Amino acid sequence: MDDCTTTKEEEVVKSEHIYGLEYEDNAFGLATTNMLIHSDGNSNIKKGNLFEEGKWIEKANIDTVLMNPPYNAKRNNCDPAYVKTWKSNVSMDPSKGLHFVYEVAKRVKTGKLAVLLPMQCAIGGGNHDICKFKKLMLQENTLDAVFSLPSEIFYPGASVCACCMIFTLGQRHSKDTNGGTFFGYFKDDGFIKKKRIGRVEIIDKKTGKGLWKGVEQLWLDLYRKRKTLTGHSIVKKVTAEDEWLCEAYMETPYDAVHTQMFERVVRNYIAFRVSEFMGVTSLATKNAHKPDILIDCSKWEWFKLSDYFIIKKGDRLTSEDQVPGNVPYIGAIDSNNGLSNRIAQPPRHQGNTISLSYNGSVGEAFYQPTPFWATDDVNVLYPKFKMSKWMALYVCAILRLEKYRYCYGRKWTLELMNNTMIRLPTHNKKPDWAFMEKFIKKLPYGDCL
């Protein structure tokens, strides 16, 4: 409409440039009413089934598509040919909406398609149907970009974690010739939740202006110029077999490392030992309480986790099989040093190790001083060097920086954990373990451990 100079041109836009298709009665009524309220016309907003309106879509010569397909569509709302391939016990779309996207891409053929989908579609993993349609999409289209959206973008309507995928239609995706897909970690958009209202924009108290405009400008600039910015974006060549989300490839932002994150680890460990009567004789720390300060990580170097730790998987033990006793049972929880129970079964893991959840509360790292049993949602890090508890607590704080990568069903698997790279203080191109120990000891309560 901004490009129109006459009323006649505006009428052409309303009657010939905007098309829509909606199956559900209430959503169709809301859509057409919304169009009328905003004077956008609604003559081409049609109530119908996507899989019965293919010819109508093709005749419209559409070149820009905005989609939000159903993520859990029932059998009678999906492509009948696709439904025939489902197992008898499957009642909802196993592709989580991707087969709707593929149908539209086949009909539109050229232009751009932007679609909101659940994060499961970006992860893929062991979902056969999602992997199938990812492959089909890239046979004739290019994955241009994927944006990880705020975790509660649909609040208060739904709690699903969503991403926005953008495809260039009609151009086959090739890892060799494609310059790379843009991945944006666009989780913080300057909005917060308000009970019974929804998501509202945060207002800067100094300027009196909302934060969204600045966030939007940054996002658009990164995407249009295809910039890589730590903590926000990365350009990566991918195939249908790869994960399609920024969290899988983006470098962890170490510029946000500060003393408080280390202090929090120390305080939590002290609290756990006190609650368990584990030998804390005094909480009279001699270390002064210092203000929270950023730490210069510019000279830190990257190290592969498996070069310094042997990583072993925990063992499943159902609640029915847990016999009360004194052996710590470490679960995938985010508090109490991971201790979820005490059992009589013999410990499976040694003390002076680190427990690290890969499922459940993913990324929760705790120093374990004594032998224990770990659930199968927890991996255990055995040091290949002489590790003190202070060194371990330092590493725990660093490992927790990786938590953002693993949520909405994405697990920190043993393979991924072995290949994880972390940054650490360095001396002679090796981790400076002595510095890390001294650092933790100098923190408030670090001398009480």
**Which residue, 72, 141, 133, is CA-closest to 105?**
141
Q: What angle do CA 359, 361, 367 make, to 5 degrees?
A: 100
Q: Round to the nearest angstrom and report the end-to-end CA distance of the chain.
A: 67
**In which domain, by residue range, is 58 found?**
49-248
Token pair in block for residue 10: 């505006």
Q: How many CA atoms lie within 13 A of 348 on its CB side?
A: 19
Burial class from Cβ neighbours inside 10 Å (0-12, 13-18, 19+) for residue 370 reads: middle
Q: Which residue has the tokens 């060097």?
A: 385
Query: In this structure, are 68 and 144 located in the same domain?
Result: yes
Domain at 346, CATH number: 3.90.220.20
- CA atoms of 104 and 131, how far apart (whole Å): 18
DSSP secondary structure of 120-131: HHHH-TT-HHHH
In a domain, 26, yes or no: no
Phi, psi of 97 (to 5 degrees): 100, -10
Per-residue tens of pLDDT for the chain, all 449 residues: 889 999 999 888 888 888 999 999 999 999 899 888 888 777 789 999 999 999 999 999 999 999 999 999 999 999 999 999 999 999 999 999 999 999 999 999 999 999 999 999 999 778 899 999 999 999 999 999 999 999 888 888 888 899 999 999 999 998 777 789 999 999 999 999 998 889 999 999 999 999 999 999 999 999 999 999 999 999 999 999 999 999 999 999 998 899 999 999 999 999 998 887 776 666 777 887 777 777 889 899 999 999 999 999 999 999 999 999 999 999 999 999 999 999 999 999 999 999 999 988 889 999 999 999 999 999 999 999 999 999 999 999 999 999 999 977 788 999 999 999 999 999 999 999 999 999 999 998 888 88
Please state the φ and ψ torsions of residue 222, each to the nearest 5 degrees: -65, -45
Say how many domains are in the chain: 2
pTM: 0.89
Kind of pairing between the strands at 301-304 and 421-424: antiparallel
Q: Check: CB of residue 43 under 8 Å from CB of residue 76.
A: no
Q: Tell me the C-alpha distance between 126 and 358, whole Å.
A: 17
* In contact, 342 and 410? CB cutoff 8 Å: no
| Rounded-to-integer distance, Cα 262 and Cα 355, Å | 17
| Same-domain status, 225 and 266 | no
CATH number for the domain including 216? 3.40.50.150
Question: CB-hemisphere CA count at 13 Å for 406?
Answer: 20
Q: How many residues does the chain have?
A: 449
Give which of 354, 445, 347, 446 is closest to 399, Cα–Cα.
354
Last residue of a domain, one of 248, 267, 292: 248
Indicate whether 221 and 262 sit together in one domain.
Answer: no
